[in-house]
Structure 1
Amino acid sequence: MTDTIVNRSARFEGQGRISFAEAPMGHLREGWVRLRVDVCALCGSDKRLLESGSDVVPGHEVVGTIVESRSDEHPEGGRVVVYIPVSCGECKACRANQNNRCYRLEGLMGWQFDGGFADYMDVPRQCVLPVPDDIPADVAVLALDTFGTAAHALRLGALTQPEGIQALLVVGCGPLGLGVVAVALAMGIPEVHAWDPIESRLALAERLGATRAEDLESINRYQVVAEVSGAKPARDLAQNLVEPGGAILALGESNEPYTMPATPRWRRTDCFTVRSFYFPISEVPQNWDLLRSHGALLRDTIMSATALSDLPDTFQRFLDGEYVKPYITSEESS
């Protein structure tokens, strides 16, 4: 039993302050598993918690090893990723393995439940997904927000296009935008262009195999535009560049409302706007295959390994743009 483990975890106090606490883990709940955190990646959305503070331990892109289990389907020693929606398992969506669409969602790991900026974390059984033996932890973590979210959005976008996606523009080359580039290429989308105002980020997209977008002034340029920054200029650009009959994948998060312009051109543009959240469990096998072909390249292009004890410095370097996609890694697993 692991109820004598003293767990070290990060606490986000608000206004950019991170402290650490140590406390015994206590008794593991029925139907839950206890993980040693092997990898926990930083996400752009964590910056909001860094500023506002959090009542729980943040960190929602997690790969771990089960050290104790009270779930018959998840044995000790198994390597898993943490699926962040804590779904009910009973509603119409959950019964169809569309847990990201749960009608009675309880919350998210790392947001309403303690997450992975810690040595150990407890996870309910519905949020535990086994990792294939041939995929290392620092690639497997990309199966979550970076590959999983990107792949789901592209699949939804493809449903709007009778011949599938033939030409894609990715606006915003942060971690998720670069994930969209990598997934699009892994899916075999013939034409993948990218744009970002930061030259170094755009160069990373080119390194992954995207083509730099040159003409950002003409209207009706792209069949599908993935807007991944959430910034108003980027949203305006996507709405200007999408073809009639095309689709905008609205992936960028922002505190500003998503609006549609009151212009003659936009009123006369017949197109789809697609908003997606995370990915359904039904897509996980396909996502492992995508990772096998392009995951290692994306890891080597954007990821940087650090330690939990260095988290304050890691976040500062993340905020400064020095790190694109940093992650903490356990000494035991490395």
Structure 2
Amino acid sequence: MSLRGSDLTQARRARFHGNNSIEVGQEVLPELAIGEVRVAVEISALCGSDKRLYRDGSVVVPGHEIAGRIVETSHDVPSCRVGERGVVYAPVFCGACASCAIGFTNGCLKLVELIGWQRDGGYATHVDVPVRCFVPIPDSMPLDVAVLGLDTVGTAAHGLRWAIQTRMRAVERVAVIGCGPLGLGVAAMSLDMGLPTPEVFDPIPSRLEAAMGVGARRLHDLDVENQFDIVVEASGSRAAREIAQRLVRPGAVLLALGESDEPFVIPANPRTRRTNLFTLRTFYFPMSEVEDNWAALSRVGPQLLSILGSPASLAELPEVFVSFSRGELLKPIIRFDEIG
């Protein structure tokens, strides 16, 4: 049933006021813009990068890991799309530039907005998104698994694919520094891609155990230089970056995926000056990789969800963020039971 032109104008939304303050309230939604669809959010997953918005506040509704159903379309979008299940692609790519034309949508030359950062996101019962940013999912895939195909698996898989392209020799050892959701996604995807068993480090014992639960093994020696062909820094902390720079071999690749307010510093020391290596930064994943991501997610997603996910409701979001910001929860999953 199409709700085009309907009176669906109310939504519960979370507002981040800064100083670790969140308020959930009822708001009136604007009329759908041309080329957009209204999504009833069924799943919204917390991301570590949202801790900055929790601390500093946001002028838009945060939340960029979103899954749900289309409940309304603008007049130029076919109404037959109402009812589609899918996830929301966070970068609002233009679809027309040279990068987008080859499917490199995360490298859009005109990218200025991310959903949940510069425009309203998914900590809400409904979110309006450009129709090109709504990605249908396989019929058999649960939405709580599908949402892991965004940051947790999508970003991890894309980074590893690019890292592999830099290799001139076989990959003998892989290290992952930081075992939060992204690091766990990297560990799972390393194994899925047939890379050597990843060796992992995190100062939090429970996160190390989670990584070993997906098949990784503990990295014991952090001080010996020149050990690994691919080193993935998935934390963003200064200490993790220093470890990664120490472990990477000459001719190898350091994949910098961790988010942080701190600059990524390449020290001007003798070893750094004398070491040939790739320092690689990748962002999200392109639309051209979506089908490969669904295939991988069907294999690794259920296990990752069982290790990562902890369910909560939108009303519980303020208290969930308290625990999440302390590192007590890996990947809270907000589930919406009342769908408009």
> Which interval holds the TM-score relative to the shorter structure?
over 0.9
**Code of the aligned partner of 1:278:** Y
**Code of the aligned partner of 2:55:** E
Partner of 1:243: 249
- Give distance in 2, aligned partners of 1:183 and 1:94: 25
Residue 292 of structure 2 is aligned to residue 308 of structure 1: no
Partner of 2:194: 188
- Give distance in 2, aligned partners of 1:226 and 1:264: 22
- Give distance in 1, aligned partners of 2:312 and 2:26: 20
Partner of 1:8: 12
Partner of 2:125: 119
TM-score, normalisation: structure 2: 0.95
- Structure 2: 5+ residue runs without aligned partners? none
Partner of 2:160: 154
Moved more, 68-77 or 125-134: 68-77
- 1:3–1:24 contact (8 Å) kept in structure 2: no
Partner of 1:326: 332
Partner of 1:75: 81
- Give distance in 2, aligned partners of 1:68 and 1:139: 24
Give the 3-state SS of the residue equivalent to 1:286 in structure 2.
helix
- Give distance in 2, aligned partners of 1:181 and 1:262: 30
Partner of 1:46: 50
Partner of 1:128: 134
Partner of 2:221: 215
- 1:74–1:125 contact (8 Å) kept in structure 2: no
- 1:248–1:274 contact (8 Å) kept in structure 2: yes
- Give distance in 2, aligned partners of 1:277 and 1:201: 23
Distance 1:95 1:23, change over 3 A: same
- 1:119–1:330 contact (8 Å) kept in structure 2: yes
Deviation at 1:27, TM superposition (A): 2.0
Residue 73 of structure 2 is aligned to residue 57 of structure 1: no
- 2:18–2:55 contact (8 Å) kept in structure 1: yes
- Give distance in 2, aligned partners of 1:272 and 1:299: 32
- Give distance in 2, aligned partners of 1:23 and 1:119: 10
Which of 253, 258, 265 is the aligned partner of 2:264? 258
The one-character-per-residue Cα deviations of 1:154-175 (angstroms, maximum 9, x if unpaired) are 0010001134544210000111
Moved more, 94-103 or 66-75: 66-75
Work out the percentage of aligned pairs sharing the same amino acid. 48
Structure 1 stretches of 4+ moved >4 Å: none
- Give distance in 1, aligned partners of 2:124 and 2:10: 11
Distance 1:144 1:105, change over 3 A: same
Deviation at 1:137, TM superposition (A): 0.7
TM-score, normalisation: structure 1: 0.97
- Give distance in 2, aligned partners of 1:290 and 1:200: 25
Aligned residue pairs, count: 333
- Give distance in 1, aligned partners of 2:314 and 2:268: 48
